[in-house]
Amino acid sequence: MLEPRTELEPTMKPFSEPIYVTRAFMPPFEEYQELMRGVWERGYVTNNGPLLKQFEAELAERFGLDGTIFMVNGTIALHLAIRALELKGEVITTGFSHPVTTTSIMWEGCTPVFVDVDPGTFCIDPALIEARITPRTTGIVATHVYGIPCDVDAIADIAKRHGLKVLYDGAHAFGTRLQGRSILNFGDVSTTSYHATKIFHTVEGGSMHARDPELHKRLVLLRTMGQFGEEFFIPGMNAKNSEMHAAMGVANLKYYDEIMAARKHQWQLYFKLLKDSPLQLAHVPEGIEYNHSYFPVVFRSEEELERKRKFLNDLNVFPRRYFRPACTQLPYVKQAGTCPISERLANSVMCLPMYHGLEDASIERIADMLKEGL
């Protein structure tokens, strides 16, 4: 007689190598090395060197950007943009973003005033902005969350009526296009990040974009200690970036189309596999060119999320809870309860692994693991 089975067969085998939420794209080593040979020959390693100028020019031309100021990272980009726009007093911002969207406002001496988000796009809900405007409000700092664009027309309209400046944190949004233009051309200033975890990277790096020539000039000066030539014009910051980082940008730019096409394929595969599951997926509005930079899934509760996360971790898969906590729940902000949708999302959203080279078969297994028992 057969023994009754006491243990279930393991239906899912763990991955042999850990699968993290992201992994930096690396260009062919020889191509980076070749760029380094030039740096070695010139002995010119930073301070607006030739590779940095080349990278800025290639970005501006290829993506039709209103000026590109390549710099040290996407955090300092926000700080300098707030300075250049001379924001003071109260600044309207989103309840759901990376903490630095909030902390840049605080460091620059302004008070963040939080507005909740649209539950489908995760971006600031323009319908809730006006109720939070006071005579002390000077600007709006909003994030294109997961690369999905904010409702830029509605925000521009509100800003115009109330005389407010608009700054977009486009750290996730490189490559997203709207109305035939790069998303980085919207607002008074837009910033982005080229950190190694973002869809297009320079190891560390960021950029600022402004259409207004005076504003552009001020941003350039702020990046470079207020210095131009041998003169010092305004109190600035050292937010320059190096030839080594610019070289990574130049090298990676050659693979940009390939990186974006692969990411779109992965995103669409996850979407196909998960669209009929109980998980809530992002709402990407019609008519935009989306960069497919993240694949967030929203669970019905934090308990369900944590149970699933542990299950995935045991199978060697490591998704990440971006963004948690909500900006209102940060320990130094203490405004929990003021943005219920942002806070619910922060407690229930998780981003799935997605990076260049992640195989379809792995995505299929991750989707199966995720749906198991939901």
Note the residues at the interface with ligand PLP (CB under 6 A).
Answer: 73-75, 97-98, 100-101, 143, 169, 171-172, 193, 195, 206
Nearer to ligand PLP, 94 or 315 (CB): 94
Nearer to ligand PLP, 132 or 195 (CB): 195
Nearer to ligand PLP, 63 or 146 (CB): 146
Helix (H, G, I), strand (E, B) or coil at 347: helix
What residues contact 127, with CB distance under 8 A and at least 6 apart?
154
Q: Residue 362 in contact with residue 28, Cβ under 8 Å?
A: no
Nearer to ligand PLP, 299 or 323 (CB): 323
Residue type at 90?
A: E
Alpha-helical regions (H) of 22-147? 29-42, 50-63, 74-84, 99-107
Tell me the Cα Rg of the chain.
22
Indicate the residue whose CB is closest to ligand PLP: 74
Nearer to ligand PLP, 93 or 224 (CB): 93
* Nearest-approach distance from CB 147 to ligand PLP, in angstroms: 10
Nearer to ligand PLP, 195 or 309 (CB): 195
* Nearest-approach distance from CB 233 to ligand PLP, in angstroms: 26
* Nearest-approach distance from CB 295 to ligand PLP, in angstroms: 15
* Nearest-approach distance from CB 76 to ligand PLP, in angstroms: 7
Nearer to ligand PLP, 146 or 267 (CB): 146
Tokens describing residue 221: 């000066």
Taking the C-alpha atoms of residue 269 and residue 2, their distance in angstroms, rounded to an integer, is: 42
* Nearest-approach distance from CB 266 to ligand PLP, in angstroms: 19
Question: Can you say whether the dihedral through the CA atoms of 266, 271, 272, 273 is positive or negative?
Answer: positive
- Which of 147, 271, 269, 134 shows the shortest CA–CA distance to 200? 147
Helix (H) or strand (E) holding 10: none
**190 beta partners:** 168, 209
Q: How far apart are the first and last CA of the chain?
A: 36
* Nearest-approach distance from CB 344 to ligand PLP, in angstroms: 19
* Nearest-approach distance from CB 77 to ligand PLP, in angstroms: 7
Taking the C-alpha atoms of residue 201 and residue 216, their distance in angstroms, rounded to an integer, is: 23
